[in-house]
Amino acid sequence: MFTAERVADEKDWIKGESGDWEIIIGMEVHAQVASNSKLFSGAGTGFGAEPNSQVSLVDAGLPGMLPVINEFCVEQAVRTGLGLNAQINLYSRFDRKNYFYVDLPQGYQISQFEHPIVGEGEISIEPEEGIEVTVGIERLHLEQDAGKSIHDLSPDETYVDLNRSGVALMEIVSKPDMRSPEEASAYVEKLRGIVRALGTCDGDMEKGNLRADVNVSVRRPGGELGTRCEIKNVNSMRFIRQAINYEARRQIEIIENGGSIDQETRLFDSVKGETRSMRSKEDAHDYRYFPDPDLLPLNLEQSFVDGIKANLPELPDARKARFIADYGIPAYDAGVLTVDKTVADFYETVAKGRDAKIAANWMMGDLFGALNNAGRELSDSPVSADQLGGLLDRIADKTISGKIAKTVFEKMFEGGGTADEIIEKEGLKQVTDMGAIEKMVDDAIAANAAQAEKAKENPKLLGFFVGQVMKASQGKANPQAVNELLRKKLGL
């Protein structure tokens, strides 16, 4: 069914005992439609509600219930399809996917099998600087979510919460076009950026509103495709990379020891960093799909699609192009800063009226680094865009040096107040008074007379003296002035 044409760069190959291996990755991402009511009922979808408080007769699968399609959800699926540069199918149909599970009271899931609402498309990703990869979209279909079984409330009973039962999901299926864990997480990141910009899914992976099933197989570079395993419901970018790494190495080890891979569904254990078998993988025929007799096929008017298309917001790729043109920042920076709407909005606030490249460096370096260490998202950053901008203003007007700014930033991140407040309170203002700097320079030379003598033959000693003066000034002396004065006084 699938072909995988592109061969990974050599640097992405995995060295096995018997030679090189290439990882082939495809994804099925379930994105919850940002809708107040469910796909086929009027029940609510709010997160964190009392168990079973948002369940209609349809969601509970009671006999005689009749699903009615939610037009808003259809519109969101079309919007998302357009955002994925994909074919919108004016004719689509709902099918029943039959399987038994306690959290699926109907005994089947209403999904789309043969005729999905969205067909082929593609998106581009930039997993690392200068590398652009196009990932094909196979399809997007609408389907219902299942409920949730809860096994840990009672030692001998399982509870079922049907709040999620019937919630609208968009299942976005990629082609097997990814070749490394980094490409896979960059793909999900890009996808999340697109749905967030469109407003069709909030993309909150921690709440399970965006989750990835990752298909992994290995082959000799460019060779025959191997048997794949599917890792279900991976819910963070880091876990996606870890799961793929582990799974690829597991498969290679089995094959190199003379074994073969069983097609199966596996779970990722994020605590152990391992995947483990869940069940042998079903094929489509195991689900006995057939058209849902309760629902008419969906026939969309072209004008309905055109109307949505005419009102699409600025998407990440367009915004990236605008950032390159308007702010003059490198393509890679523009890509990183536009992959998510929150990030891009933040950047525009910081960059407006300031040095755009310095703004990009501070966001991508210091801010993202601090957020990463703290395990926080930009949306709950303790440093706001205006506060970061305020810090950059103090570097620009030379109130503080770039180095002191790092200290101020750390204090800001810990909730110490605005840049001005911290500079004032901690007395971090740069010393630009030439008289004061000259005194510190003279003191340093006097205290290190022998070194000063040698400096004439060995100009590298200038660094030593700069260090002494900066230390004496607690980092506050203007480094340029210190350098100039030292050169003069040491006769360099």
Q: Which residues bind Mn ion (CB under 5 A)?
A: 171
Distances, alpha carbon 387 to alpha carbons 355, 373, 412, in Å = 15, 20, 8
Angle at 194 between CA 181 and CA 199, to 5 degrees: 135
Q: How far is the CB of 111 from Mn ion (least distance, A)?
A: 6
Q: Which of 116, 117, 114, 69 is closest to 295 using CA atoms?
A: 69
Q: What's the Rg (C-alpha) of the chain? A: 29
Q: How far is the CB of 36 from Mn ion (least distance, A)?
A: 22
Q: How far is the CB of 230 from Mn ion (least distance, A)?
A: 11
Nearer to Mn ion among residue 29 and residue 405 (C-beta) = 29
d(CA 387, CA 413): 10
d(CA 211, CA 201): 12
d(CA 160, CA 69): 25
Nearer to Mn ion among residue 171 and residue 421 (C-beta) = 171
Nearer to Mn ion among residue 113 and residue 464 (C-beta) = 113
Residue nearest to Mn ion (CB): 171
Nearer to Mn ion among residue 122 and residue 171 (C-beta) = 171
Nearer to Mn ion among residue 171 and residue 274 (C-beta) = 171
Pairing of strands 229-234, 264-269: parallel
Nearer to Mn ion among residue 171 and residue 484 (C-beta) = 171
Q: Which of 60, 175, 161 is closest to 106 using CA atoms?
A: 60
What letter represents residue 304's amino acid?
Answer: F
Q: How far is the CB of 171 from Mn ion (least distance, A)?
A: 4
Nearer to Mn ion among residue 233 and residue 379 (C-beta) = 233
* Residue 483 · residue 465 · CB < 8 Å: no
Q: How far is the CB of 29 from Mn ion (least distance, A)?
A: 10
Q: How far is the CB of 166 from Mn ion (least distance, A)?
A: 14
- Beta-carbon neighbour count of residue 133 at 10 Å? 19
Q: How far is the CB of 28 from Mn ion (least distance, A)?
A: 7
